[in-house]
Structure 1
Amino acid sequence: MQLNLKTFFTPIALTLAACSSEPNKAEIPPVTYLLECDTFEYVARSDGERLWLFLPGETLALPRVSQGRYQNEDLAWQAEGEAYRLSGWQGVDHLCRNNPRKAIWEHAKLNGVDFRAVGQEPPWVLEMSGTSVHLWQGYERTERVLRVMEQTQSSAERPQTRYRLEDRDGQTWLLRLSPGHCADPMSGERFETRVELETEGTQYAGCGHALH
């Protein structure tokens, strides 16, 4: 199994990143939801002025009509406390709840992230987009920006993708991705890739998966 991580930005993600209702208005960071309903789930993404709905089989955009409410002539989406009501889709009202843990991964995907990984004790998060890697470490979420300098692939018998990374201070990091079942020790969430990160004798272990 070869992990082929290519930079991939959907037209919708590019549109969302570029949206701004006024040239001089401060850009509002997008908010992403993973909404779980009785019989289905869907992703919603707000950029402040419109809401994108990634529904089963179709993608729709609703303009904002008031705080927490988006609506067009056919559909309405309304925040109701900790629940979110989608009215009119397939002729039915759907009351759904956000799953914040899953929403984080959908948010990264729509931001153009190709691969995301998490680890614990101390906590860390890694996001790879093409040859750019962002690493957040510790409870204070100290951020490092790294660049992929070299990529190698091991044999088919023991598949593993290795990356040699370098940060802005010239420090070398080694990132190893191995296919196989992996579970986060804190949340119990299961992943498809084992992740190892190493620099100057310090090692990090975690789990992740490709988003595109």
Structure 2
Amino acid sequence: MNMLTTRVWASVVTGLMVALTGCAATPSAETAVANQATLENRAPFLPSALFPGSAQQFEAWHCMPAQQHLVTATNDSDLRLWSLHGAWRLPQAIVASGARYQDGEISFWNRGDQARVETPRGQLQCSIAEQRDALTRAEQPGVMFFGQGNEPGWSIALAHDTPTLMIELNYGEDKIQLPYMVSVMDNEAGRVVIENGDVEPFFRVRIEAGACFDDMSGKPFPARVTLTYGGEQYSGCGQGIAP
């Protein structure tokens, strides 16, 4: 494949993301509602794009010719789709064979371990690469969102009932539990930032809906997570956990 073809298909994928994103809601109003919840010592509602819905599994897809990697979760009547640029929900459509999900001119057609993504600009041919069972409350009791990363192993957990963050560092040897405030809440974009402002020790957690793959196992997740704590920055993946 020559450089021009690669650039054309990169434009196809970018067009897909632009077509699906639409207009974002005003973050300030959503952040005010979330902060009201934290002031009342209640955990805020997180964007639905961080959750699998009723799906029990996430699938990772490797797509050509643009070398795109996608994550999906199949629900009863729709498909949740994550790319490196965001997240979308495609309603189920009628099709003679396989399973097709479509929103306007954007569609995802799945037949076994193969799939085709169609946009007004072209097609992507995808093959399933990895699967992962979605985390549940049985595995993570009382947790609304769980994120993790590697080398050294770390994790974060947001409590489902109060604005409380649990941080584990150095493979679980160091455990810190802290209250947080919401500084950004953008439901449409699936973006959340929580922090403790000027209170020591400073921390910030940035969560963004989008295809994420564990850098050791390759397992798929619907969100990218960045933790800043103790002067260090940690990057990994995460998932919302519904009751």
TM class, shorter-length: 0.3 to 0.5
TM-score normalised according to structure 1 size: 0.46
Select the structure that is richer in helix.
2
Higher RCO (CA < 8 A, seq sep 6+): 2
